[in-house]
């Protein structure tokens, strides 16, 4: 924030040659202003770095944005956000919008009308002009585990993906596996790359060769895990263990093993990632990397509320620790 005297909304309206009422409509996301006018007035707001004082007329909701709802995964984040919001006397508005890179274009208008205390975005980055709009309305936003490489000035909460991939792979190596495959998530998501880099480092550190044929990019869903595991198990020299990149992909990999007549863990070891609530109820119970999804939701919400209170957090990027949970889906190779 600059030290210059704060410019008022009335001054910006006067400069732009419109009434204060029109300027207010734009600020509140109303649609009864022509699109071209709205765009022009947004520019004035952005140029002055206008920020609405947030202590009045604040709603009592936190907005949580997903690009897709994935049952086992999303729910833990929702619970974390819900807990912190509820403790602060706030409700959670849940919206599903856009793809994993950014919310859709019309989403921002709804946000401006709803005027949430803060916005938590899961697995999405947001465009610079959308950030400007949120900033000028004094609505802070925090990203959970961004798929892209977020700018350093964008507050975000992630987890230690590289360490997770390293621990999962090291565990398989320590059990005696040598031919280990990795199915990670989509190639355009940072967390996928970090997890598979952890796998590579563990293999390298153990002096094991890395066979490019054993590295696959999935979709984080059961179907992707099954598809790639089926191909891997059909290789002339198939792997004896699979680091599956997510618990859902692990389920798919176990199903593919089962279809190929392989028992887990006797004939095939599988390590998941996430530690969803059902992981310990699988038969066999899933060995997996615990990702603190619930705590990520909590921390992101706390950060958004701190920013909404005008506090400056010590750091805008927080990576929570992951750890390996050894259960029944891994064993020494036959």
Q: Which residues bind a second copy (CB under 8 A)?
A: 59-61, 64, 69-72, 74-76, 78-79, 82, 86, 91-96, 110, 113-114, 222, 248, 251-252, 254-255, 258, 264, 276-278, 281-285
Name the residue nearer to a second copy (CB basis): 113 or 323: 113
CB of 227 to a second copy, least distance (A): 13
CB of 9 to a second copy, least distance (A): 23
Type and span of the H or E element at 286: none
With H, G, I as helix, E, B as strand and everything else as coil, classify residue 166: helix
Name the residue nearer to a second copy (CB basis): 78 or 331: 78
What number of other Cβ atoms are within 10 A of residue 70's Cβ? 18
Name the residue nearer to a second copy (CB basis): 193 or 300: 300
CB of 120 to a second copy, least distance (A): 13
Name the residue nearer to a second copy (CB basis): 16 or 94: 94
The CA distance from 241 to 239, in Å, is: 5
- Cis peptide upstream of residue 313 (ω within 30 degrees of 0): no
Name the residue nearer to a second copy (CB basis): 116 or 333: 116
CB of 67 to a second copy, least distance (A): 12
Name the residue nearer to a second copy (CB basis): 29 or 138: 29
For the chain, what percentages of helix, strand and coil (3-state, to nearest 5) are there? 45, 15, 40
Half-sphere exposure (Cβ direction) of 119: Cα atoms closer than 13 Å:
29
CB of 79 to a second copy, least distance (A): 6
CB of 234 to a second copy, least distance (A): 19
Residue 10 CB contacts under 8 Å (≥ 6 apart), including other chains = 20, 23
The CA distance from 155 to 164, in Å, is: 22
Strands 180-184 and 215-217: parallel
Name the residue nearer to a second copy (CB basis): 106 or 314: 106
Q: Does residue 251 contact residue 287 with C-beta atoms inside 8 Å?
A: no
Compute φ and ψ for 269, nearest 5 degrees.
-100, 140
Q: Does residue 58 contact residue 28 with C-beta atoms inside 8 Å?
A: no
Residue 162 tokens read as 């590289």
DSSP string spanning 46-101?
A: HHTT-----SSS--SEEEEEESS--HHHHHHHHHHHHHHHHHTT-EEEEEE-S-SS
Residue 330 tokens read as 């891994």
CB of 142 to a second copy, least distance (A): 18
Name the residue nearer to a second copy (CB basis): 11 or 79: 79
Residue 154 CB contacts under 8 Å (≥ 6 apart), including other chains = 125, 126, 131, 141, 143, 146, 316
Type and span of the H or E element at 323: strand 323-325
CB of 285 to a second copy, least distance (A): 8
CB of 129 to a second copy, least distance (A): 21
Name the residue nearer to a second copy (CB basis): 116 or 155: 116
């Amino acid at each position: 924030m600059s030290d210059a005297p704060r410019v008022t909304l009335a001054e910006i309206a006067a400069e732009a040659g419109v009434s204060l009422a029109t300027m207010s409509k734009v600020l509140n996301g109303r649609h009864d202003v022509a699109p071209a006018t709205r765009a022009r007035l947004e520019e004035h707001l952005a140029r002055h770095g206008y920020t609405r004082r947030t202590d009045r007329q604040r709603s009592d909701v936190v907005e949580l944005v997903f690009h897709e709802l994935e049952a086992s995964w999303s729910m833990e984040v929702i619970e974390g956000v819900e807990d912190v919001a509820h403790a602060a006397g706030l409700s959670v508005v849940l919206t599903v919008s856009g793809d994993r890179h950014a919310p859709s274009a019309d989403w921002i208008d709804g946000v401006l009308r709803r005027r949430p205390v803060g916005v938590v975005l899961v697995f999405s980055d947001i465009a610079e002009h959308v950030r400007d709009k949120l900033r000028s309305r004094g609505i802070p936003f925090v990203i959970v585990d961004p798929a892209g490489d977020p700018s350093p000035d964008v507050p975000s909460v992630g987890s230690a993906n590289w360490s997770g991939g390293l621990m999962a792979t090291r565990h398989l190596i320590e059990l005696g596996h040598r031919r280990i495959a990795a199915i990670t998530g989509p190639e355009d998501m940072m967390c996928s790359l970090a997890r598979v880099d952890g796998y590579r480092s563990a293999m390298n550190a153990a002096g094991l060769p890395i066979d490019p044929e054993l590295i696959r990019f999935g979709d984080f869903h059961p179907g992707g895990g099954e598809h790639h595991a089926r191909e891997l198990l059909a290789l002339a020299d198939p792997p004896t263990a699979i680091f599956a990149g997510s618990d859902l992909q692990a389920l798919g990999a176990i199903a593919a093993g089962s279809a190929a007549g392989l028992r887990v863990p006797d004939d095939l070891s599988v390590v998941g990632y996430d530690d969803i609530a059902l992981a310990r109820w699988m038969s066999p119970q899933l060995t997996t990397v615990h990702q603190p999804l619930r705590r990520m939701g909590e921390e992101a919400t706390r950060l958004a509320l701190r920013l909404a209170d005008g506090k400056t957090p010590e750091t805008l990027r927080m990576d929570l620790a992951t750890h390996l949970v050894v259960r029944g889906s891994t064993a020494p190779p036959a």
